[in-house]
Structure 1
Amino acid sequence: MTQIGFRFNNLRLKSQLFIAFLIVVLIPVLIVGIFLTAQYRNNVLEQATRQTTNNVDKIVTQTADILRIPMELSDDYMVSTELSNLVNTRYATVFDSTHALWEFNDFRSAVKLYREVDYIRLYADNATLLENWEFLHLTDAVRGTDWYRAANAKDGIHWMYTANETRKGQKSLSLVRRIPFPTYKTSGVLVIDVNPKLFDTMLRQEPYDTMIVDASDTVAAAKNGSWIGKSLSQLEFPGLAGKAEGTYNMTFGGEEYRVVIEKLNPASSVNGLRIVSVFAVESIVGEANRVARLGMGVLAVSMAIALVLIYIVASVLTKRTLVLYRNLSRVGKGDLQVYSDIQGNDEIGLLSRQFNNMVASIRGLMAEVEDSHRQRTELEVRQRDIKLKMMASQINPHFLFNALESIRMRIHMKGEKEIASVVRMLGRLIRNNIEIGQRHIPLGEELEIVRYYLEIQKFRYGEDRLEFVIDVEEDMSLTLIPPLILQPLVENAVVHGLEGIGEGGRISIAGKRLQDGGLELTVADNGVGMTPERLRDNRDALDDPSEDKQHRIGLRNVHQRLVLNYGPGSGLRLESRDGEGTEIRLLIPRMKEE
């Protein structure tokens, strides 16, 4: 990491800005864009899958309703005495056979009455019964069909895609069932063709390709009419043959598809049907991909414009920086008549003005150095003054601390121990402010800072005007707390509580542990106190970020830092009586132990 930072610092400002733009803007935007696009694509695909599943459930229900009528009719024919007698009677004449067929109109009535039924026919072995497109003889060709063998192999309802020879081989989904005639110890095979128009009407409303497949993987009905009558292996979906119900991701012809399969097993049926819905993934996510491409295009254009703007801004910054660098180089070579005319209130403009101040200061110092040669005795004083002026623009708390320490030593050597002690405590306060950071500090360290502060104030006000007591349990000294949360409360007590007190001012600081392991610190004074209205205003100001009154900033800062660190159960609690003093309780419910 250090090596990377070293290399980065060796780059020109323009290059640093470009790299920062890539890291801070371009890469995160690309990552977010790719993530959102993928999420959008997945959401669209899952929504389409849910819709397809719901549609398939609906088709299963509707198909079951369509098949219910043929099933009920077949149950009626199973116990029909009229049908049994008609099929098994040996007719002496053609007239007798014709009359019997005319009298039996159950098949014709059912076709007229129920729109779910397209055609009904019964195959029986009775040569004396004439064929009339409803009752047909069992020929060798019929006995060789799959549906006939299946019906005789196992009792029950079979759903199969069959051909109707009475209608020139027209095919449709049919109920096939062996009808036993126990009285005559014979049987026939009933075939009820389901009306294909109902399936066409139902499936044509589906948004995706949907089909009804029988047990032999033959498409009995489909939204795409060219698929009807073909096996799945003949279509583009060979992988669907024999698939159980569920949702699948499959590839056909190099294209990705989402497939939803549900089974329909009607009551008393030997075999069932499968409802299969297929849609190409690209047809669903195509719009999402188009939006993604459009978004990437807009992003690319935006990034290009941003890069151009960054280049322009970087050029302006580097140009101004180079001007300042050349001016510094001239000063380094001894030219103190340089003046930097860089305008602006940004950092470079401020540096330019500081540069001019520095050059002016150096010129003044040089003039003083020349004048100091007049007297040997004043040389050291003037040189020291020049050095102080040269460092005036760079003075910092470290310098103040070191200066105070030097003053303290001089005072101590002269026997002014009380003043030296006060200066030492002031130095410690400054050093603590220098070293303070975001880390938590022990409570004992915070109390030491408060003690120094109160001793200094006691020195200012005098022994009669201010006294203080610190009563904190000794085992709490290692408890870690945020820095500078107690000193502002004490300062508030001194400045606003005791300013109006002529003498007898007292500040008490107490600390104890709560039963839940928390910490309670109390800062109390016997000062002027507050009226109820002012107390209410101060309480309200603790949680009001818009409050900007100067004397409330310290309390609000401490309160909000505590709430941020420890939650709403922490913070400051104010109590005060006008003319009697003020008490501030500081609550920390959870503590870190060092």
Structure 2
Amino acid sequence: MKNHAERLLKRLNNLKKGLRFKISMLNSVFFLAALTVILAIVSVMNYKTIIRKEEQAFRAYLTNSLISVDNKLKDMSRVSLMSTSGDRFQDILLNNQNRNIYEQIQDEEYLDEYYTSLVGIRDDISGIYIYDMESLIFYHDSMNPSLRRNLNAFSLMAGVKQKATNLQQANCYLAAEQLPGFMRYSQNYIENPFQGNCIWMLRDIYSFSPHKVVGSVALTIQAEKLREILEDSIGEEMFYILLTPTNKIVCCRDGNLIGMDLESISGDIAAALSTKGSMEAKWDGEICKIMSLQSEYSSLRLITGKPVRLLAKEATGFVWYSVGIGLGVAVIIIILTFRNVGRNLKPLKFLVKEMTDFDGDSGKIHYPEARSDEIRQLVKAFRGMVDMLDQLMETQYKDQMRINEIKLNEQKLSMLYLKSQVNPHFLYNTLDNIRIRAQINGDTEVCYMLMELVKFFRLNVKAGHQFVTLDHEFSLIDSYLKLMCYRYEQIGYHYNIDQTLLGVMVPNFILQPLVENSLVHGLRDKGYKGKLLIEAHRRANGGQIEISIMDDGRGFDQLDRDHICGLLDKYEDQSDLNRRTSIGIVNVQRRLKMFYGEECGLHYTENKDGGVTAHIIIKERYEIS
């Protein structure tokens, strides 16, 4: 019969596993096939979306950057126009060659003040140069160069003008050249290509009447200013190229390419500039998706691009991200499938497992009923048996709780009894000493004795609190010892206490009975002449504290030693409490064992020089639940 039941359980278990496996695998295959198709479609759509997004970003960057560059050039055009207006300027330009040195100095001071205020509010324009029909008559350059006296500035300027592009809207000429060759600049500016190259804007100056050319003005802006504009809103992975109408590079990320012809660097990009929209061309050894836009104002062309591999990386990154999510979802679906099938077969699982391996902990488990009538009866009967065992364990637990509660109440009553046993003779003798001291010495010390007595009883009445701080216990025995020293003046005491332990929580009233035993049994036979040492420190064993009370009294005889050891070892047995003072140490030992366990408690040792030491071992706790 037993073998038949085992075979039946085995067949049921195999059937359960087979159903779970088949359903889970079928769902997984369908899901993975659908996931593969979805990922393929999403990958293609994602790549096209990334390309459209990048093209939109290209257009926005090209438009905004060219507008910013044109605004700089328009501002230069306005400055060049403003700088040549006014009667005083016309007079200086027409008559400069005929003025004496003093007048030329005054003219130069006027122009310097005028252009300093005009250009000072604009940090873009690096230099301004004024020419008449023969030579340079004034310059203002923020880089503070000096003039080369051996070069003809006018002829060099004419050469720049020949290379310039005419700006029809502004009646100016635009040229991309290096810093003026007729000036001496610091080596730092020459070595930095973004500072050593600039855009020139030249404007002819006409007289009022008759209307003819009487001079020219030239303004320069460094490529560094253009780089700040062009790199303000571009990613690190993108590149840009600013070109003149003749495909000369004005500014790009690589400053060493400034001034070079684009076709000599990348013939693919130069050939593709006529194409509208985005295109692919080779730049810096990589195939890039590029787009360009030409300014209608200045005819400058701006090109920007991004390597195709980065675009593909973004697309594949999304694919791998999607694959990761898909696999995660697949795992979750498989797990949920197994759980769902297992939930449907849960009654069989509990029957197989719990009927073959039942233990006492099974009483904590709730057994669900099966869906079929036959199995429901088996589960119901098994659950009734488990509930009966659970009730028995619960009853046993409640009985044990009641026993522990009775023991705890017994400990509280014993502690209250000990508190009520404070020797009344101590109170009477203390009051008598206060009276005698007051008669002999006046009232000088009476107030101090009364204060200590009041303090002792105030601390002593906290019997309702099971736990107090270690600081409270030391304060209690300090008041007690001060009162005893008024009675017995040859008693001395001092402390050696780790101040960081004052906040530790300890059972109430565990030190005073031990101090009293040291005085009564240790120093009484010596006429209450001696010393007490009270110490508290952490033990090497982590988490434990040792409190010791040492006296130099008469010590133990063999009878006392056996009696004390017997009381501390058999603290639960009260039949041997034949001495009144035994109640105190037994009560202390009982409470220490109850609150801290068997590894803690009270024990005595004899000192080499006489006397005994009471040792209390407790655990370091700051909060008591």
What TM bracket, shorter-length normalisation?
0.3 to 0.5
Q: With the length of structure 1 as denominator, give the TM-score of the two structures.
A: 0.40
Pick 1 or 2: higher relative contact order, CA cutoff 8 A, min separation 6.
Answer: 2
